[in-house]
Chain A
Amino acid sequence: MDNKRIKKLLIDLSYPLFVTLIILLAWQIAALTLNVDVILPSPVNAFKQLFDYLGEKDFWLSLGGTLLRSLISFVFSFLIALLFAVLSAINKTAKKIISPFAAIIRSVPTMSVILLLIIWLSPLVAPLAVAVIIICPTLYSAFYGAIDSVDKDLLMMSRVYGVSHKDIIKKLYLPNMAKSMFENTASGFSLNIKLVIAAEALAQTAKSIGKLMQFAKINYEPTKLFALTLASIIVSVALESFIRYLGKISIRWEND
Chain B
Amino acid sequence: MIELKDITKNYGDIKVFDKLNLSIEENTITCVLGTSGCGKTSLLNIIASITPYEGSILGFSGKVSYIFQHELLLPNLTVRQNLEYVLNEADYPKINGILDMLEIFDKADKYPRAISGGQAQRAAIARAFLFPSKLLLMDEPFSSLDTALKIRLITAFYQIWQKEKRTVLYVTHDIEEAFILSHRVLIMDKGNIVYDVKLDGNPVRDYGQTSADKQEILKKLLSAD
- Using CB atoms and an 8 Å cutoff, list the residues of chain A in contact with chain B: 153-154, 156-163, 167, 171-172, 175-176, 251, 253-254, 256
Contacts and interface: CB of A to CB of B under 8 A. Distances in A.
Which bracket fits the contact residues of B?
20 to 34
B114 A160 contact: no
A160 B64 contact: yes
Interface of B: 48-50, 63-66, 68, 70, 72, 74-77, 81, 85-86, 111, 113-114, 127, 131
Contacts of A158: 85-86
Contact of A157 (B66, B75, B77): B66
Given A153-B68, A160-B64, A161-B86, A253 B131 contact: no
Given A163-B86, A256-B111, A156 B76 contact: no
Contacts of B76: 171, 175-176, 251, 253
B50 A253 contact: no
B48 A154 contact: no
Given A161-B65, A161-B127, A256-B114, 13 more contacts: A153-B68, A153-B70, A157-B68, A157-B72, A160-B49, A160-B50, A160-B66, A163-B85, A167-B85, A175-B76, A253-B76, A253-B111, A256-B111
B54 to A, nearest CB: 21
28 contacts: A153-B68, A153-B70, A153-B72, A154-B72, A154-B74, A156-B50, A157-B68, A157-B72, A158-B85, A160-B48, A160-B49, A160-B50, A160-B66, A161-B65, A161-B127, A161-B131, A162-B63, A162-B86, A163-B85, A171-B74, A171-B76, A171-B81, A175-B76, A176-B74, A176-B76, A253-B76, A254-B75, A256-B114
Instruction: Sort A-B residue pairs by CB-CB distance and give the 10 closest, nearest first.
Output: A175-B76, A161-B86, A157-B72, A253-B111, A253-B76, A160-B66, A160-B48, A153-B72, A154-B72, A256-B111
Contacts of A157: 66, 68, 72
Contacts of A161: 65-66, 85-86, 127, 131
Contacts of A163: 85-86
Contacts of B114: 256
A94 B117 CA distance: 40
B139 to A, nearest CB: 12
Contacts of A171: 74, 76-77, 81, 85
